């Protein structure tokens, strides 16, 4: 189970790297002089909080600490809202293979992977962090 948490930390690092450009764009839009509605400001701020929390969850899961699992549970709504999925790197397969059936299968596969991660996180929490 220790290596499973470290694998989850690696998935968070991969997700962090793949979303770095989007986070930078969101940050730049907050600093620009354009007028943002309250909903735009709120959603961009929430995305940046979710992205920054990936750093801490990766560190805490690599150690492994109980707080890493709690942080993952807190991140889950943001992950679902902003599609910050752990197995989101699988979607890069569409750049290599241009089959229509692949694009129809990938999103359910990625969501299923995230649900498997949630299941295994709960199991780790039950066994090791009572």
Tokens of 3: 């290596």
Average pLDDT over residues 102-129: 91
Q: What is the pTM of this model?
A: 0.89
Taking only Cα atoms into account, the Rg of the chain, rounded to an integer number of angstroms, comes to 16
Does the pLDDT value for residue 5 go beyond 80? yes
Look at the chain and count its residues.
130
Average pLDDT over residues 1-17: 93
Grouping H, G, I as helix, E, B as strand and the rest as coil, residue 72 is helix
Average pLDDT over the chain reads: 92
| Spatial distance between the Cα atoms of 23 and 76, rounded to a whole number of angstroms | 18
Domains of the chain by residue range? 2-128
Tokens of 60: 């805490």
Q: Looking at residue 121, what is its pLDDT?
A: 94
CA 50 to chain centroid: 8
| Spatial distance between the Cα atoms of 94 and 12, rounded to a whole number of angstroms | 21
Query: CA torsion 48→24→34→83, rounded to 10°?
Result: -50
Does the pLDDT value for residue 3 go beyond 80? yes
């Amino acid at each position: 189970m220790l290596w499973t948490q470290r694998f989850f930390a690696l998935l968070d690092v991969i997700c962090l790297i793949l979303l770095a450009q989007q986070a930078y764009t969101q940050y730049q839009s907050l600093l620009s002089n354009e007028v943002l509605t309250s909903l735009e400001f709120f959603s961009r701020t929430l995305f940046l909080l979710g992205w920054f929390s990936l750093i801490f969850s990766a560190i805490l899961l690599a150690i492994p600490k109980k707080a890493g699992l709690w942080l993952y549970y807190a991140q889950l709504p943001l992950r679902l809202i902003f599609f910050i999925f752990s197995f989101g790197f699988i979607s890069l397969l569409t750049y290599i293979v241009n089959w229509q059936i692949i694009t129809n299968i990938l999103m359910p596969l990625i969501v299923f992977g995230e649900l498997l991660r949630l299941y295994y996180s709960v199991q780790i929490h039950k066994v090791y962090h009572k």
